[in-house]
A = this chain, B = another copy of it.
Amino acid sequence: MTEILSAAWCRRAALAAVAALAGWAPAHAQRAPKPTKAAPAPAAAANADRTDSLALRKIFDEALLRGESYDNLRYLTGTIGPRLSGSPQAQQAVEWGKATMEKAGFDRVYLQEVMVPHWVRGSKERGEIVGNKDKGIRVPVCALGGSVGTGGKLKAGVVEVHSLDEVKKLPEAAVKGKFVFYNRPFNDALIEPGTAYGGAVDQRALGAIEAAKRGAVGALVRSMTSARDDNPHTGTMRYAEGVTKVPGAALSTNAADQLSQLLKANPDLQFELEMECLTLPDEKSYNVVGEIKGSRFPQEIITVGGHLDSWDLAQGAHDDGTGVVQSMEALRLLHATGFKPERTVRAVLFMNEENGTRGGNEYARLATQNKETHLAAIESDGGGFTPRGFNIEADPATVAKIARWAPLLLPYHAADITPGHAGTDIEPLQAAVHPKALIGYDCDSQRYFDIHHTAADTFDKVNRRELELGGASMASLIYLLSKYGL
């Protein structure tokens, strides 16, 4: 693209036109005729709309011109780095989160103590395809989170499958003493990579259990991504009571393709796995909470959060450093633009989303114990890419209520208000204190699983403007929730 672009590039007016054309504009967003003394009600509605529209514009100005998310993320990912639950870096992240929110001048900043799992990868992690040749082929592997180690070198044959069911149906002799190699790829035809992830991740989560039930020595799992590359993707795996705990490892997609191809030529090849990972006793850790007190309904709480922990391989930039800095920023944006929320607004940096959700559970437990009233909770845990809108878990009337604000979010491309999964950390609130809506921040997701849970989830993958637009979108929704309730 070249040259001077016409004002036609300015799409805001255009978007508003389409909203009108599409019948999207709800009553309060319609421009009323010029107010007259005879018609105070429409004038009031128009003024409310104008006030909201200007308030959102102020929030986005602040984010785009003086936003702090990007610099905060640089510190969290670069200076602190990977921060798996129980690690010294997770503790540093807690202290940094608390200090950052204290400096931002919120009404109250505090910690919620919670015991978390403490799994460590160890220093050695090695995978090798051993065929007929003298020399094996080293391939990129990593232990799945929570896996037991191999206790030295573990060498065995390999049986390839594409589902948990397939393992159950195999004769025990075909599995016993071998690695089960789960190689079902993402369904690339799906538009949402998250749906493809949901359709493949049972292999990683439950693969070692089903393998062990049939006498396998371990589970090798194709990495959870559409990308074809050399990055193994870690992620949590489970064990079951009464079933032998066998090691679970992820292979990069290239390695999985290679192993599959070699197995076709030589079904008797072996795989040698060596992992020193182990689970240590639980550690004390914390959720970090920052709060702005509501001016009219202080007892009604709106939560916004992301998770402070990350996998140990990664800087945890998109998962979920972006959610952490956006949540803090959402409150800072309200504060900096002079908005005094009618309801109490809380930024929560949850601990241990990745391998336990202990922080999310504890937050919900305390909400019950303290008899809190929760209006809504927003979570950002799908990356820090360009906003699309919000996924809502609520009854249809409440979804429709939130969708009426779409025209206000349309100029920012954050107006896609749809029913959908909100988030893992806020989920426990539902049973505990029944907020009217759980809300997931929704952004463009095409790149997310390329780097998810890998060493490639680094700061440089995050675009400053995309990140700040997300924080501003969340702040805007909080503004509306706080002002109008649900």
Contacts and interface: CB of A to CB of B under 8 A. Distances in A.
Given A5-B194, A8-B420, A450-B463, 15 more contacts: A1-B320, A2-B236, A2-B354, A7-B195, A9-B198, A11-B192, A12-B191, A14-B391, A18-B418, A22-B22, A22-B23, A22-B24, A23-B23, A386-B386, A388-B413
B421 A4 contact: no
A447 to B, nearest CB: 5
A447 B420 contact: no
Interface in A400-459: 400, 403, 406, 411-413, 416-421, 424, 444, 446-448, 450, 452
18 contacts: A1-B319, A4-B198, A4-B202, A5-B198, A5-B201, A5-B421, A6-B198, A9-B421, A10-B190, A11-B418, A11-B420, A14-B391, A15-B416, A18-B403, A24-B24, A60-B191, A386-B386, A446-B465
A38 interface: no
A366 interface: no
Given A60-B191, A189-B60, A4 B201 contact: yes
A386 B444 contact: yes
Given A21-B403, A198-B6, A412 B354 contact: no
A9 B190 CA distance: 11
Given A22-B24, A386-B386, A463-B446, A197 B418 contact: no
A413 B191 contact: yes
A247 to B, nearest CB: 19
A226 interface: yes
A3 interface: yes
Contacts of A205: 3-4
Interface string A86-121: 000000000000000000000000000000000000
A202 B3 CA distance: 8
Contacts of A329: none
Closest 4 CB pairs of A and B: A23-B23, A5-B198, A8-B421, A14-B418
A183 interface: no
A393 interface: yes
B413 A3 contact: no
A378 interface: no
Contacts of A424: 1-3
A9 B417 CA distance: 13
Contacts of A2: 235-236, 353-355, 424
Contact of A419 (B17, B400, B403): B17
Contacts of A198: 4-7, 9-10
A469 interface: yes
Contacts of A8: 391, 393, 419-421
A6 B450 CA distance: 20
A278 to B, nearest CB: 20
A280 interface: no
Given A2-B424, A18-B403, A198-B7, A65 B444 contact: no
A166 B399 CA distance: 52
Contacts of A353: 2
Interface string A226-259: 1100000001100000000000000000000000
Contacts of A450: 463
Given A18-B403, A22-B24, A417-B18, A195 B10 contact: yes
Interface string A185-213: 00011111111011001100100000000
Nearest to A16: B418
Interface in A329-380: 353-355
B64 A3 contact: no
A83 to B, nearest CB: 14
A1 to B, nearest CB: 5
A78 to B, nearest CB: 17
Contacts of A24: 22-24
Contacts of A226: 464-465
A393 B226 CA distance: 36
Given A8-B420, A191-B411, A403-B18, A466 B446 contact: yes
Contact of A465 (B193, B319, B418): B193
A434 B113 CA distance: 69
B192 A1 contact: no
Contacts of A465: 188, 193, 226, 446
